[in-house]
Amino acid sequence: MARVEAIQYGDRKVYSVSSFNHGVAEWLQRLPTVWVEGEVTELRRNPRWQSVFFTLKEPNDGACLGVTIGRARFDALRLDLTDGERVHVFGRPELFEARGDFRLRALSLERFGLGDHLAALERLKKKLAAEGLFERKRPLPFLPRRIGLVTGNDAAAKQDLVATITARFPPARILVAETYVQGPLAANSMIEALREVSSAPEVDVIVLSRGGGSFEDLLPFSDERLVRAISACDVPVVSAVGHEQDTPLCDLVADARASTPTAAARLVVPDARALLEQLDRTRAGLARGAQAVLERRRGRLLQAHERLRRAPALAVERKRARLEHAAGRLRALSPRATLERGYAIVRAREEIVRSATAVVSGDALEVQVADGRFGARVE
């Protein structure tokens, strides 16, 4: 091991590379042993090597930390780790003096457990809720021009949703983006697919779909990056992730959620048959309404015509009644009634004879009775 010795050049103290590295390495050893959390990437294990190497990556900002762990120790843990898995690493910082490489020397390694996931999820949920990410709910289009479907690459889940949507609305156009929906690569893959369908022309709504799964299976649907991608998506997103208890965060951030493919279909497309029936009913109502208006008009016209037909006769009848009334009164008052009882009016020289002394023998008289007049002569 090199010693930390400086060479003097006048009043300048200069270290050799190995001295410098050794000095830093020694100083680093004073740091405490800690737990570090991150995702495993670039795992390199070779039976001929003494150590196993991997890079621990921070999912949110991509910060990296090299990790080395003794191969025997690593194998004894029987973790069977793959890239993308989240782990807790217990170790201390170390400088590989020969290369000046800084890394974490791992003493132990634990896969991120269920309890850890739950706690982390709860924290993330609180944080995102505080940011207001779960509050915005955009209305879904009544009739989307195209539907973006982000789904697993297993045929069953995809077919299920496509079949349900087209059964409900046969002319529906669906753009399918298949992605990983499980495992360490799922979140990134889904974000990529989401971006792809949301930027495709005419896509008015996106369904993010996955059949049921265990809590661990559904973890990618609670990935912070995916949740933020959904929130930032220009197109409304429906979360159609089958789950039993723990709601994945994508359900909370999505504009709508559906627990089954049928429910998802109901959200994104209208029922074509019901729509047509309603249209038919409306059209029938329209025809009935027009017919009713027509009939009311016709009825009024007929009524007016009927009155027109009757009016003149009615007017004549009224006039006749009024005339007969006047005539009746005339006759009641006139002397005719008296004449009809047998009296007569006698006139001599155009004057009514009121006294016997008014005439002398031989005078011409005019006698008026009820139905006419006749002449007479005084004897």
Partner 1 sequence: MSAEPTFEDAQRELEQIVERLERGEAGLDEAIGLWERGEELYTLCVGKLDAAQGKIEELARRVDAAKP
Closer to partner 1 by Cβ: residue 288 or 309: 309
Q: Which of residues 159-218 bind partner 1 (CB under 8 A)?
A: none
- Cα–Cα distance measured from residue 101 to residue 107, given in angstroms and rounded to the nearest whole number: 18
Contact between residue 367 and residue 376 where contact means Cβ atoms under 8 Å apart: yes
Minimum CB separation from partner 1 for residue 356, in Å? 18
- Cα–Cα distance measured from residue 365 to residue 379, given in angstroms and rounded to the nearest whole number: 11
Give the C-alpha distances (Å, rounded to integers) separating 254 from 69, 139, 235. Answer: 41, 11, 10
Minimum CB separation from partner 1 for residue 332, in Å? 9
Per the structure block, which two tokens stand in for 296? 């009311």
Closer to partner 1 by Cβ: residue 312 or 342: 312
Minimum CB separation from partner 1 for residue 330, in Å? 4
Q: Which residues pair with 364 in a beta bridge?
A: 377
* Candidate ranges 157-165, 193-201, 214-222, 310-318; the one touching partner 1 (CB under 8 A): 310-318
Please identify which residue in 296, 309, 373, 377 interacts with partner 1, judged by CB under 8 A. Answer: 309
Q: Which of residues 256-285 bind partner 1 (CB under 8 A)?
A: none
Minimum CB separation from partner 1 for residue 288, in Å? 28
Contact between residue 22 and residue 2 where contact means Cβ atoms under 8 Å apart: yes
Contacts of 157 (CB under 8 A, 6+ apart): 151, 209, 210, 211
Q: Which of residues 316-375 bind partner 1 (CB under 8 A)?
A: 316, 319-320, 322-323, 326-327, 329-330, 333-336, 345, 352, 368
Closer to partner 1 by Cβ: residue 126 or 309: 309
Closer to partner 1 by Cβ: residue 130 or 313: 313
Minimum CB separation from partner 1 for residue 172, in Å? 55
* Candidate ranges 1-9, 141-149, 272-280, 307-315; the one touching partner 1 (CB under 8 A): 307-315
Nearest to 149 by CA among 169, 181, 189, 177: 177
Minimum CB separation from partner 1 for residue 350, in Å? 10
Minimum CB separation from partner 1 for residue 295, in Å? 20
Closer to partner 1 by Cβ: residue 98 or 313: 313
* Candidate ranges 100-108, 141-149, 214-222, 314-322; the one touching partner 1 (CB under 8 A): 314-322
Minimum CB separation from partner 1 for residue 202, in Å? 59
Minimum CB separation from partner 1 for residue 320, in Å? 5
Give me the 213-252 binding string for partner 1, x by CB under 8 A, dash otherwise.
----------------------------------------
Q: Would you count residue 44 as binding partner 1 (CB under 8 A)?
A: no
Closer to partner 1 by Cβ: residue 263 or 344: 344
Scored b (16 or more CB within 10 A) or e, 270-308 reads: eebeeeeeeeeeeeeeeeeeeeeeeeeeeeeeeeeeeee
Nearest to 275 by CA among 168, 146, 145: 168
Query: Identity (one letter) of the amino acid at 237?
Result: V
Q: Would you count residue 312 as binding partner 1 (CB under 8 A)?
A: yes
Q: Would you count residue 72 as binding partner 1 (CB under 8 A)?
A: no
Minimum CB separation from partner 1 for residue 374, in Å? 16
How many chain residues are in contact with partner 1, going by CB under 8 A?
19
Chain contacts with partner 1 (rule: CB under 8 A): 309, 312-313, 316, 319-320, 322-323, 326-327, 329-330, 333-336, 345, 352, 368
